Amino acid sequence: MSHPRALLPLIAEGLRPPEDVRAHLASCESCADAVEALSPLDLGYVWDGVASEADAPRPGVLERALVRCGVGDGTARFVAATPSLRPEWLLASAGTLALAALGMAARPGNGLSLVVLLAPVVAAALVAFAYGPASDDAYELVAATPLSPLLALLLRLAVVLSANSVLVLAADVVAGGPGLRPSWFLPMTFVALVAAGVGVRTSPLLGAGAGIALWSAAVFTTVSLSEEPERLLWGAVAQVLYAVGSVAVLAALCALVVRSGGFVTGANERRTA
Amino acid sequence: MRIELRGVSKSYGAVRALDSVDLDLSHGITGLLGPNGAGKTTLMRILATLLSPSAGSVRVEGLDPSKPRDRLELRRRLGYLPQDLGLYPRFTVFEFVDYLAILKELDERRDRHRRVRAALAAVGLEDVARRKIKTLSGGMARRVGIAQALVADPSLLVLDEPTAGLDPQQRARFRELLASLGEGRQVVLSTHLVEDVAAICTSVVVLWGGRVAFHGTPQDLRERAAGRVWSTAEPSPGALTSWRTETGAYRVVGDRPAGDAAELPPTVEDGYLLLTSGLGEPVHA
């Protein structure tokens, strides 16, 4: 039998071919390929799509929210995998700030704002556990992928600092404060970046400890030595110092990550040589 | 894929983990053998572009991992399984491998999911794809690590202790998989298990105290023990090693024991034992 070329488009559209044409199609690879190519329905492709949807992991709340905001799938998954954005971390941070806010609301106008004092402490803990070999279980695997290490670092820092800022802002409003103000944002950022820098090089616990110790020392020193601790801690000069310090620490951290090629090893790097 | 190391050294403070390593590796499966602290993991991390040597040069298919652009290109071609495998316990198996596939720039969702399914099937995990990683056994978690290394169809596979924690059946299956993967790509694996090397590797590198003590084929290593393996009725205290086999006779590796002794065909492990016994204690500079 000669090739039934005139019938092939109709067969591809669903026409049931006569017996002799069916037999020919079964034995003629060229005609079978032509029918498959003409068919509007690629069953293999359709099946891949069905399986893809069936297997697709259900994204968490944060990942879904990020995707809805236009963030790409990959970036959203990477951000959602941040260790210190797990619900227990956020709940603990929110709980700490809520207690401070409620205490302030119950006794308004009683000296330094506890929320503002606590903002850098909570941020130091969250940021120290956001990125690095000791806080991210899959750090070594991720470091060996083409993902830019600098982008990874900045994404994690930005998202965790943003999450912390939202919590502090809400707590400040509950406590009767004005909400967003540089008095807590800049010192929080500076202390958090110090914690991240020390945490990446050593361990997240040491990083958080270093940030908290630094802030505590600043607060206790100013409170004990000055009649106006607010001016020293949150005045214009202090804000400039926080801003300059934040830029300097962030630059040093970025340089460390870039110089290491994305695999920053801590003090225990010899462990598995 | 061709890997060239020239005078590669790596120091951690006063400890030298690698000392002037020269190696040329081409297509096929290379097994890295050596005791703990020999420098295997350091060498694997250098090949995986994670560590830079303190001295010397590395080229992988002409690419220099010390240059950011080359390093990025190498990471696109790389599948890596670290010795200390870290996974996210709350992710499902599929979700975790999919996550790494995203980071490996497999952007098209349908194709990426197809590759994830194929990688999970290759390591026999397709039935547990929706299980949380925290519910898996150690061997299954190791297979998740192998699946993520395979998912982007890499041309260079660097596998640090891939069979650690696998049971004998899983190891046999993994050897089959690796043997098929070794065709047309470069696989470098480190292991303590000499039988893994004997079964699948086309070349063997023995590291000792951070230096290359041997580089050749498994047959070459086996031949080092030719005429040095014996079967005797009595243990041989002066031998390098001797143990009682299931037949009741003693298998002796070393010089010919006194009394009746029949020569046995050597294994790769015999060759390794004889090689390393002549090297003395590993010394880190």
Answer whether B178's CB lies under 8 Å from B29's CB: yes
* Cβ neighbours of residue A10 closer than 8 Å, sequence gap 6 or more: none
Q: Chain B closest CA to A138's CA: distance in Å?
A: 5
Residues A141, B86: C-beta atoms closer than 8 Å: yes
Crossing angle of helices A204-225 and A114-128, in 10° steps, is 160
> Does B250 touch chain A if contact means CB atoms closer than 8 Å?
no
> Does B67 touch chain A if contact means CB atoms closer than 8 Å?
no
Average pLDDT of the segment spanning A83-96 = 91
* 3-state helix vs strand vs coil in chain A, percent to 5: 75, 0, 25
- For an interface test with A, give the residue of B21, B36, B40, B45 to mutate (most A CBs within 10 A): B45
Q: Which residue has the tokens 């820098």?
A: A197
> Does A70 touch chain B if contact means CB atoms closer than 8 Å?
no
pTM for the model: 0.81
Average pLDDT of the segment spanning A149-176 = 89
Residues A142, B103: C-beta atoms closer than 8 Å: yes
Residues B107, A55: C-beta atoms closer than 8 Å: no
Residue A267, pLDDT above cutoff 50: no
What's B133's DSSP letter? G
Q: Which residue has the tokens 């996550």?
A: B99
Nearest to A140 among B75, B86, B109 (CB): B86
Residue A265, pLDDT above cutoff 70: no
Q: Are strands B3-12 and B15-25 parallel, antiparallel or unpaired?
A: antiparallel
Residue A46, pLDDT above cutoff 70: no
Q: Chain B closest CA to A204's CA: distance in Å?
A: 16
Nearest to B75 among A45, A138, A144 (CB): A144
Which two three-digit tokens encode residue B52? Answer: 């830079």
> Does B82 touch chain A if contact means CB atoms closer than 8 Å?
yes
> Does A151 touch chain B if contact means CB atoms closer than 8 Å?
no
Residues B37, A55: C-beta atoms closer than 8 Å: no
Number of neighbouring beta carbons within 10 Å of residue A48:
16
Nearest to B49 among A51, A261, A265 (CB): A261
> Does B105 touch chain A if contact means CB atoms closer than 8 Å?
yes
Residue A268, pLDDT above cutoff 80: no
* 3-state helix vs strand vs coil in chain B, percent to 5: 35, 25, 40
Residues A272, B71: C-beta atoms closer than 8 Å: no
Residue B275, pLDDT above cutoff 50: yes
Q: Are strands B15-25 and B203-208 parallel, antiparallel or unpaired?
A: unpaired
Nearest to B117 among A51, A261, A272 (CB): A51
Instruction: Please give the residue of chain B at the shortest CA–CA distance from A147.
Output: B103
Q: Cα–Cα distance between A223 and A220 in angstroms, integer? A: 5
User: Of the candidates B156, B157, B154, B132, which has an alpha carbon nearest to the alpha carbon of residue B144?
Assistant: B132
- Chain B positions in Cβ-Cβ contact with residue A52 (cut-off 8 Å): 109-110, 113-114
Is the ipTM here above 0.95? no
Residues B84, A81: C-beta atoms closer than 8 Å: no
> Does B89 touch chain A if contact means CB atoms closer than 8 Å?
yes
Q: Cα–Cα distance between B174 and B149 in angstroms, integer? A: 13
Q: Cα–Cα distance between B54 and B41 in angstroms, integer? A: 15
Q: Are strands B186-190 and B156-160 parallel, antiparallel or unpaired?
A: parallel
* Cβ neighbours of residue A230 closer than 8 Å, sequence gap 6 or more: A112
Answer whether A174's CB lies under 8 Å from A113's CB: no
> Does A244 touch chain B if contact means CB atoms closer than 8 Å?
no
State the first-to-last Cα distance of chain B, in angstroms, to the nearest integer: 32
Per residue in B105-135, is it b (16+ CB within 10 Å) or e — as a string?
Answer: ebeeeeebbbbbbebbebbbbbebbeeebee
Instruction: Please give the residue of chain B at the shortest CA–CA distance from A262.
Output: B50
Answer whether A25's CB lies under 8 Å from A17's CB: yes
Residue A273, pLDDT above cutoff 50: no
CA A231 to each of CA A183, B211, B224: distance values in angstroms, whole numbers, following the listed order: 10, 61, 79
Answer whether B229's CB lies under 8 Å from B264's CB: yes
Average pLDDT of the segment spanning A235-254 = 93
Most confident of A179-188, A227-236, A241-250: A241-250
Average pLDDT of the segment spanning A177-197 = 84
Kindly tell me the burial class for residue B183, based on how many C-beta atoms sit within 10 Å of its own C-beta (0-12, 13-18, 19 or more): exposed
Answer whether A214's CB lies under 8 Å from A194's CB: yes
| DSSP-H helix ranges across chain B | 40-47, 68-76, 93-103, 109-122, 138-150, 168-181, 194-200, 218-223, 268-277
- Bridge partners for B60 per DSSP: B3, B63
Nearest to B86 among A138, A262, A269 (CB): A138
Tens digit of pLDDT for each residue in A115-159? 888 999 999 999 988 888 888 889 899 999 998 888 888 889 999
Residue A182: the pLDDT is 63
* Cβ neighbours of residue A68 closer than 8 Å, sequence gap 6 or more: none
Nearest to A81 among B17, B71, B99 (CB): B99
Q: Chain B closest CA to A156's CA: distance in Å?
A: 15
Nearest to A51 among B86, B107, B113 (CB): B113
Tens digit of pLDDT for each residue in B183-209? 778 999 998 888 888 888 999 999 999
Residues A261, B102: C-beta atoms closer than 8 Å: no
Contacts of A76-82 with CB under 8 Å at 24 or more apart are A77/B98, A77/B99, A77/B102, A78/A142, A78/A147, A78/A152, A78/A155, A78/B99, A78/B102, A78/B103, A79/A155, A79/A156, A79/A159, A81/A136, A81/A138, A81/B88, A81/B91, A81/B99, A82/A130, A82/A131, A82/A156, A82/A159, A82/A160
CA A85 to each of CA A56, A71, A82: distance values in angstroms, whole numbers, following the listed order: 22, 17, 5
Largest CA distance in chain B: 70
* Cβ neighbours of residue A41 closer than 8 Å, sequence gap 6 or more: none
